[in-house]
Every structure is written in structure tokens, then in C-alpha cells.
Structure 1
Amino acid sequence: MIPCILTIVRHGETQYNRDGMLQGQSIDSPLSEIGERQAEAAGIYLRDVKFTNAFVSDMQRARQTAEIILKNNNNSAGIQLMTDPLLKERSFGIVEGQPMDVMRSMAKAAGQLVPDFTPPQGETVEQVKLRFAEFLGSMLQQLMDEHRHQDSTQSMPVHVLVITHGAYMRVVCLFVNQSDHITIELQ
């Protein structure tokens, strides 16, 4: 078995983030100037990490972040950035493009905490968990296929950079922390 390390990074700031607006999936905004600097700082922080693979959400803000991080990485030559829509931000339905306060008010009226609340036409936490599990299975299968030739005694682990979104990452943390055992079936 080859060791696999995941480094998961949230995209840099966008103007929508700065203004307290929900983006979700329907708002595909670019990084702000601060967001570009944040991505550059992450790239500098990770500059000596030897990533073997990189996966990114298909949203512009995540892709820009990934490109800036890899540009600042000393070991990224030859790494192909794999875009995967399974890494897309959680859908916030009818509140996308609205101030975060709108979602807070709706969650409060429903007697729920904001992270647990699903706005109309939005994606539930469980749906995001399933999407992450699907990504994980697909990614691990791809890694297994790519690195099958590698001897398990080799010291170089597979190290994957994943660039995604804040609400998605919160669900990933819940999924991992609440799971005593995660089973992924590979072919």
C-alpha cells in the first residue's frame, strides 16, 4: 500500500466573500486582489511540498487559486491540474447572490444552525457528503491506476493538492470526523 496525503486548500477571497455575499455554485466570481495575495502566500507556504497530483473545483476562484499555488511551488513541473465538478461549492439554492444575513435569518427561522440549514433548492449536507465520497473514490481509483507501478517500499508518498471551497470543506471535515471507517471500493 502506498501512503497518500491530501492537502486541502480553500480558494482565496473574492469580492463576494469580502462583501458578505453567498456565491455557492451559480456565482462564478474571480479572486479579488487580496485573494490573489492569499493564494500566493499559500503557494509560498507550500513551495517545497512535492505534490504528485492536483485536483481543483471547476469554479474560477478555485482554479485561479490552484494555478497561483502551483506557480509558486518548486516541485510542480509536469503536474497536470485536474478539474473536477465534484469539488464545487455547496449549492445554496435561492440565497446564492444574497447577503449571508439572509441565510442566517432563514436558518434562525427554521430553528437550525447555518451550517446545517438547507435553503430552498439548495444542497443538503448529506448530498455534499455523498459528492465528496464520490470524488474520493474517483480520485483514489485514478491514483491507484497512475501509481500502480510504484513499489510500496518506496519512500515517496502520493501527495495530492485539492483546491475547493469553504462550505464544502466544512462538510468534508464532518464526514471524516464522524466516520469511524470509510470504505471506498476500487476496481
Structure 2
Amino acid sequence: MKGMEHMTTFYFVRHGKTELNLSLRFQGGEIDSPLLPIGIEQAIQAGRYLCDISFDMAAISTQKRAMDTANYILKENNYLDGLTVQYHDNLREIRFGEREGAEIDQTDEQTNHLRKRPDLYDPAAFGGETIDSLVARSTQVIERISKQYPDGKVLIVAHGVLLITLINSLVGKEKSKWREGGPLANTSITILEKANDQSKYMIRAFNDISYQSKNEEA
């Protein structure tokens, strides 16, 4: 290890649980539903867990469920003075086209591809967004931030499909495995690091919900 190695550390957090999560409906990039009380509570707990991390910036999806989650997290943080907060359309969830808000059909072939074989997923029939588009636009945000903050600690608050495919892609998995380890739990924390002379990211924590109190979910 060289003494002067630069490293960006990303803290990826999925938004809190929403009404549409509970009712098992598609909740993509063009729809929002409110955080449930348990989702708010978990976001506050995540904020307390991260309260002593001095973030250099926070990059947040422009969807309300992510912005609300980020607000609850940041409200608990002890080092907000001078924090840069940015909102990014490119961190919005994958778009499900005509399926937005519809009940999830567990027997549907494309739904199964989305969950298990993202390399085979083809949303053309319902006007959805491709996995390649999702990963390309989210990766663009991450790469730009890691150049801007070569020694930075960065909070990212976004969405389930976006985060698991982005994370698996950043650590170098092939496309067929971009859903491995998913779905990420609501308000789970995944930490990735990248030394600036490396192309791949290393996982320091994955889908961490160890901080959540064991309240019964209402």
C-alpha cells in the first residue's frame, strides 16, 4: 500500500419502505408513494448509525421517497456544516413504463428475468427502461463524483433495482449476475470503496441492516 493512496468511499442507501412496497406493486422511476411509518423509523435509525460519518457530499434521487429518506438520515448527522447535497434524475429508479403502479405478477417472464437474469430482461412490450440504460446513467453519476471527491465520503440515496444492478456492475460482475444478492432491504447500507488507480470497487459492507431495532413491522 502506498502511503498517499486516494480512495472514494460510497455509502449506498435504499429508500425506506413505502405503501407500494407493501402492496407489492411496481414502483419505478415515474411513480412515488409515501414512506410508511416503519420506513421513516428505519431511515432515522440509519441516520443515527451513520451520524458520525463526515460526508463530503450527498447525491440523492429526485424521487420523493428517496429525498424524504435522505432528509431523515441527514437530520441525524453531526457534520452537516458545509455539506454539498445534489439531486440527480439519473439516480431515479428504473422506469417500468405501462407497468408503473401495477400489481407484480410473479409468473411473468420479464419480471423473472428482471429478478434473476437481467441480461435477458426486455421491457419493450410495456415501454420500460432497459437495464443497460439504468446502469449507464447511474454509473455516470458515480464516476463523476469519484473524480470530484478522490478522498471523499459520499452518501447515495436511491432505489432497489438501480442500486443492486449498479453495485454489482461496479464490482465487476457480469450482466447476468447484476441482481445477485438482491433485493436490497429498505434503508439497507452498502459501502463500496475505490482506490483511484483501480477500475473496480471493493465491497466493505453489503445490505447492512444490523442497526435496525427489531420492532415488529406494523
% identity of equivalent residues:
32
Aligned to 1:71: 75
Q: Residue 11 of structure 2 aligns to which amino acid in structure 1?
A: T
Say yes or no: does 1:54 pair with 2:55.
Answer: no
CA distance in structure 1 between the partners assigned to 2:155 and 2:131 by the alignment: 23
Aligned to 1:148: none
CA distance in structure 1 between the partners assigned to 2:136 and 2:122 by the alignment: 15
Aligned positions, number: 168
CA distance in structure 1 between the partners assigned to 2:10 and 2:109 by the alignment: 32
Aligned match of 2:139 in 133, 136, 160? 133
CA distance in structure 2 between the partners assigned to 1:179 and 1:172 by the alignment: 10
TM-score normalised over the length of structure 2: 0.69
- SS of residue paired to 2:26: coil
CA distance in structure 2 between the partners assigned to 1:39 and 1:118 by the alignment: 33
- SS of residue paired to 1:86: helix
Two-structure CA RMSD over aligned residues (Å):
2.3
- SS of residue paired to 2:149: helix
Structure 1 portions without partners, runs of 5+: 145-156
* Structure that is richer in helix per residue: 1
TM-score normalised over the length of structure 1: 0.80
Aligned match of 1:178 in 149, 172, 177? 172
Q: Residue 105 of structure 1 aligns to which amino acid in structure 2?
A: T
Q: How does 1:99-178 map to 2 (within 5 A)?
A: 99-101=103-105, 104-107=106-109, 112=113, 114-115=115-116, 116=118, 117-119=121-123, 120-143=126-149, 157-178=151-172
Q: How does 1:84-103 map to 2 (within 5 A)?
A: 84-101=88-105
CA distance in structure 2 between the partners assigned to 1:89 and 1:98 by the alignment: 15
